[in-house]
């Protein structure tokens, strides 16, 4: 539970604080896999993900601009910036996000039963009674876990920071010419520039920004909801997709030859996937 909360909070922080920077550059199953992976497996998984985003090496001109870009980023993101930001942000932003699953008692019961917080339409006293059945020390345990989060998150931010500074320096060297870099550096050498560098990260993750995002969510979801219909219309003139069952015996044999799996193994895998899908749909319907 505590690792899941850290994972969620870290992902939320990255999305909320870094993406909106004006001067800066998983699905549940993926989250579970990341949380359960052994260190070697985690490194392999991260290497595979990193390979999906190859970066071109810097040109000679960009390499020449890199030292100045590094100076700029050092002023924008001084050592300890992210961990310092984490300390000031935790209570007003990440704390509430991490509590979205409900109170400590609710989290204890949902974790032990598989029910959602919405399923527990019970008075607080009854939820706490249920929590006590699963974990007599639920309240103390939650208190101690939550007390650890600011320090642990700060350590994680410290681990992220060097890589972020390196990537941002390279991006500045790539995207700005010498004249622009001179002007940017001159700005950050001013008192105003120093103040901006210190405040920009926390401003971008202010509750006002989060609220604005939440207010836009209905429109976003409406767009997503119409996507399936638009995709169907855009591909209406194309031949229909074929499933493995639609293939001829010769075509099935070809698939087996190329994949290294027998026809029977492929069919068994498809059957297992269909069964998992039906189980998920059944559980979702029951929850509704």
pLDDT in tens, 195-238: 888 787 777 667 787 788 788 888 877 777 787 788 888 888 99
Write down the pLDDT at residue 288: 53
120, 110 in Cβ contact below 8 A? yes
Asked if residue 15 has pLDDT above 70, the reply is no
Report pLDDT for 251. Answer: 94
The pTM assigned to this predicted structure is 0.56
pLDDT of residue 286: 60
pLDDT at 9: 47
Q: Is the pLDDT of residue 72 over 70?
A: yes
């Amino acid at each position: 539970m505590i690792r899941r909360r850290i994972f969620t909070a870290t992902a939320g922080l990255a999305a909320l604080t870094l993406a909106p920077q004006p001067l800066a550059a998983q699905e549940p199953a993926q989250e579970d896999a990341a949380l359960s992976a052994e260190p070697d497996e985690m490194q392999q998984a991260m290497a595979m993900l990193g390979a999906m985003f190859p970066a071109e090496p810097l040109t000679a001109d960009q390499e020449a601009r890199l030292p100045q870009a590094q100076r700029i980023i050092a002023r924008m993101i001084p050592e300890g910036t992210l961990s310092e930001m984490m300390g000031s942000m935790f209570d007003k932003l990440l704390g509430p996000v991490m509590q979205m699953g409900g109170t400590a008692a609710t989290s204890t019961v949902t974790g032990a039963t598989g029910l959602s917080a919405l399923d527990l339409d019970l008075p607080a006293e009854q939820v706490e009674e249920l929590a006590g059945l699963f974990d007599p020390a639920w309240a103390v345990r939650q208190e101690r876990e939550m007390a650890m989060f600011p320090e642990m998150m700060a350590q994680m931010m410290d681990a992220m920071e060097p890589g972020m500074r390196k990537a941002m320096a390279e991006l500045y060297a790539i995207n700005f010419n010498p004249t622009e870099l001179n002007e940017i550096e001159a700005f950050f050498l001013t008192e105003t520039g120093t103040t901006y560098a210190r405040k920009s990260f926390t401003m971008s993750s202010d509750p006002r920004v989060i609220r604005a995002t939440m207010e836009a969510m209905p429109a976003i979801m409406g767009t997503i909801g119409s996507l399936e219909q638009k995709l169907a219309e855009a591909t209406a003139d194309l031949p229909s997709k074929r499933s493995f069952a639609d293939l001829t015996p010769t075509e099935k044999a070809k698939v087996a030859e190329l994949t290294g799996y027998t026809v029977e193994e492929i069919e068994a895998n498809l059957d297992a996937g269909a069964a998992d899908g039906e189980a998920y749909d059944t559980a979702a319907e029951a929850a509704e």
